[in-house]
Each structure stands twice: as structure tokens, then as C-alpha cells.
Copies of this chain bind each other. A is one copy, B any other.
Amino acid sequence: MLSKTGDRRISRTQAALRDALVQLVEQRGLDAISVGDLCTAADITRGTFYNHFKDKEALVNFFEDQVIDDLGVFQERMGTLSLAELAKVAVQKKPLPLLIELFDYLRSEGEFLHALLGAGGDAAFGPRIRDCVCTNLVQSVLHKRYRESSDPFVAYYVSFYASAYLGVITRWIETGMQETSVEMARIAQRLLFIKPGESIKL
């Protein structure tokens, strides 16, 4: 019978595989890892691996899905933000609690994200995150009347800022998450109200 609290053996195996994945991707890159390598690092048998996952790709997707699901919660909450609210907190220089929470969450998954968003990681993961969080963030910020415009420029405009925010997150993670979540929330907000060629107030 299925119970809410899963089998501890399964949890342990999955956790061990996740740690092994992060460690090995960091060391050698995803392509250079074999299922056997993962099992050795996780201290399990190959048979056990195939009990859980079809192949290496399925393993990676499984753990990526967990992060994407978690981010989905933020995604929904982002959708409820209005531009007016954003402008208000920007003026007050008071970082949005939601953004702080987001960076807190990202930090909690920092090792995984560092490995799988990095150069040795999964090429499909970055776009997935971008499409999940960032596009929505931009949509909530974009003037309502342009959200469903068919003008190609609007699509590029959205792409532009979605990639931009993923770039900020990626840089933060790549450089070891030096800034606090509050600092990052503030940076993310300042970037909303700036033009590329504009003079920056430091």
C-alpha cells in the first residue's frame, strides 16, 4: 500500500544519487559521467539505479523537475504583482519579500544549480528555468496592453528581459552567491528601472 511517507530506502538512494550527480557534474561535466560512475559515487549498485531511472537523462530530468516545480510556486505569485507595486517598492528602496524568498530558495539549491546551470551542466536546463520564472516575471511587469501583442518586437522585448534576469541569477550562482538575498532582490529591482545607455547612480 502507498503511504504518504515514502520508503526511506528510496529517499536515501535518490539523495545519494543527487549528491553524486552534483559532485561529478562539477568535476567532469555531465557528458563525461557514466551510470556506473554515479553509482560508485552514490555507493549503490547499478541495478538499484535502473530500479529508479531509465537512464542518466531521466535522472537529471527528475531532479530538474523538482526545482522547476518549486519555482512554479514563485511563478504563480509573481503573476499577481502589478507594475505599480514594483514602482512603489523601487522608490522606497525596500526589496520585495517575494524576491528575497526567491533568492533564498535559489541559494538553498545553490550547489545543484551551480553544477547543472554551469558549462558542464545540462544545456536544456537554463531555457527551462528561463521559461518558467523569468518569462513570467517579465509578463507581470510588462504593460498589460502589450502582453498579447502580435508585434514581433514585443516577443523579443520579453525574451530580452527574461534572458537578462536569468543572466543575473546565473551570475550570482556562478560567482558563489556572494551577495545576500536582500542585496540580490534590491539589484533585481534596480535593474527594472534603468536603460542600457543611462548613467547609473551608485
Chain A residues proximal to chain B, CB less than 8 Å = 30-31, 56-57, 83, 86-87, 118-127, 130, 138, 141-143, 146, 149, 151-157, 159-168, 170-172, 178-179, 183, 187, 190-200, 202
Number of copies: 2
Q: Contacts A143-B200, A197-B87, A197-B193: A179 and B167 contacting too (C-beta < 8 A)?
A: no
Not counting A146-B202, A160-B167, A192-B196, a sample of 12 additional A-B residue pairs whose C-beta atoms are within 8 angstroms of each other reads A123-B125, A126-B126, A143-B199, A151-B202, A152-B187, A153-B202, A156-B191, A159-B170, A160-B164, A163-B166, A164-B167, A194-B195
- Bound-complex Cα distance A164 to B170 (A): 12
Q: A163: which of B127, B143, B157, B167 is its contact (CB, 8 Å)?
A: B167
